[in-house]
Amino acid sequence: MTLQRADARNALDPELIVTLARTWEELAADDDVWVVVLTGAPGSTFCSGFDLATFIPLMTRSREPVDEWDHIVAADLSIAGRATLRDLDLGKPLVVAANGHAIAGGMEMLLAGDLRVGAAGARLGLSEVALGLIPAMGGTARLGRHLPPARAAELLLTARPISSEQALDWGLLNRVVPAAEVLDTALELARAIAGNAPLAARAARSVLRRSADLTDAEALALEATLSAELAATADAVEGPRAFVEKRPPRFEGR
């Protein structure tokens, strides 16, 4: 998936918000999709967040809707949460290829990924408090799950961006490469994921994400439950059989 508003730094306007929400829902329901890569149209910015001239005035009710996209968003502001994956779980691995700056809502979309590749020299930040707002697409609530409290507080409260190199050092990114190599690097990671059993990858992702809200006993119980469910799948038979037969496995997601 590519955010296609390079002339506006890939900012999320009503049309892009609606399109994203619908596309995520389609991908989540499509069992033939095993892994997704999200990037931005080539330019300096992966995503600069929500469009301050179009979406934000709709959100604050300071602008009246003028077209079909505006009306859809104005009638259901929660669509922004689905577009940025705050209120919608894709249910399968997402690799974010941040090929430029990721600011505000763009940073929150970066955080929604399971693996993250950043462009060398790019800036990552949450600037909302400088505008009288807070990151409301998961950034405020979830940043502390990705970073130590002091690091999270620094990003949230100063509204100052950090470099992708610093984000790598903090453990927020998996890779930092030149901008021209970001998508290829993300696709390489995606291919590695897609080479594994899709149901197992989804189950492992689910335990990893859901464990943050569980006690150790609850997390282990979830792990045991999903492991037992996987043991009853055809892929769980195929994987060990292929290993013994010294051939590549042929996973089918069933």
Active site members: 108, 128
Q: How far apart are CA 92 and CA 27, in angstroms?
A: 9
Q: How far apart are CA 48 and CA 46, in angstroms?
A: 7
Identify the DSSP state of 215.
-
Task: Give residue 231's Cα distance to chain centre.
Answer: 29
For 2-5, the CB contacts below 8 A with 24+ separation are: 2/38, 2/39, 2/40, 2/41, 3/38, 3/39, 3/40, 3/41, 3/46, 3/47, 4/41, 5/41
The sign of the CA dihedral 144, 149, 155, 157 is positive
Instruction: Output phi, psi for 20, to 5 deg.
Output: -60, -50
